[in-house]
Amino acid sequence: MRIIPAIDIINGKCVRLTKGDYSTKKIYNENPVEVAKSFEGAGVEYLHLVDLDGARSNQIINYKVLEKIAAKTNLKIDFGGGIKSDKDVYIAFNSGAKQITGGSIAVKDKAMFDNWIAKYGSAKIILGADCNNQKITISGWQEECSVEIIPFIKMYRNNGISNVICTDISKDGMLQGPSYDLYEKILNEVEGINLIASGGVASISDINKLEDLGCEAVIIGKAIYEGNIKLKDLELIA
């Protein structure tokens, strides 16, 4: 299973939130490039980079951070947050992203998101399916929709999507374990997807359980920054 550390950006700094609440922002490092290099030094190949300013705006904001990390590491970066137009997609790929994640746009403008899948290929486009009580949540998790997560993923699976990041917002940043039941339900009901689990990971045992469930990858954030999972642990499993 792929191990994908996360870097969330507000005002160019590496931060973490709890349950997506911007008022809980905690700054862990003012130099995201330094953090990315430490991940690479632990043998990690992948990085999940989120522009939290962009997520609740109408466009990408922190693409310069993406540029710097891409220029100074060999990490394969998936980038999300604020990608809401063809121009944003161009900026993200031109700044060094290997993949982009679309969440809000996949809800608000299906035609545009479908066009990205067709234009760039499903290997480069990730569906962001973040939810609360199994309802899709968008706009930096500030807006809950009536869209149910399973039909949402199924719809885009039928349109060619294969990579899906799913965060159960109630688990995010809590360090109390991932949403195993939700991931098991998704994997049982939607065939042929690479499910990337995100939110709640607190230990190596959580990672092992997600692998046993059949998740293709796991995103780890606060557990690393709070020291629950050490970089040396990542060296053993990366």
Above 80 in pLDDT, residue 237? no
What token pair was written down for 227? 């020291």
What token pair was written down for 196? 């990337």
Kindly name the residue from 78, 130, 172, 206 that is annotated as catalytic.
130
Region 62-69 average pLDDT: 98
Pairing of strands 194-198, 163-167: parallel
Write the pLDDT tens digit of every residue in 213-236: 999 999 999 999 999 999 988 887
Listed in sequence order, the residues at least 6 apart from 212 whose beta carbon sits closer than 8 Å to its beta carbon are none
DSSP string over 8-63? EEETTEEEEEETTEEEEEEEEES-HHHHHHHHHHTT--EEEEEEHHHHTSSS---H
CATH number at 77 reads 3.20.20.70
Q: How much is the pLDDT for 238?
A: 61
Q: How much is the pLDDT for 219?
A: 96
Least confident of 15-19, 144-148, 205-209: 144-148
Alpha carbons 187 and 29: distance in angstroms, whole number: 35
Alpha carbons 14 and 6: distance in angstroms, whole number: 10
* Residue 171 belongs to domain spanning: 2-237
Number of structural domains found in the chain: 1
Residue 114 appears among annotated catalytic residues? no
Q: What is the SS3 assignment for 6?
A: strand
Region 116-139 average pLDDT: 92
Q: How much is the pLDDT for 123?
A: 96
Residue 181 appears among annotated catalytic residues? no
Q: Which of the pair, 233 or 36, is modelled with greater confidence?
A: 36
Listed in sequence order, the residues at least 6 apart from 73 whose beta carbon sits closer than 8 Å to its beta carbon are 33, 36, 37, 40, 47
> What are the residue ranges of helices labelled H in the chain?
32-41, 52-55, 63-72, 86-94, 104-108, 110-120, 149-158, 180-189, 204-213, 222-225, 231-237
Above 80 in pLDDT, residue 177? yes
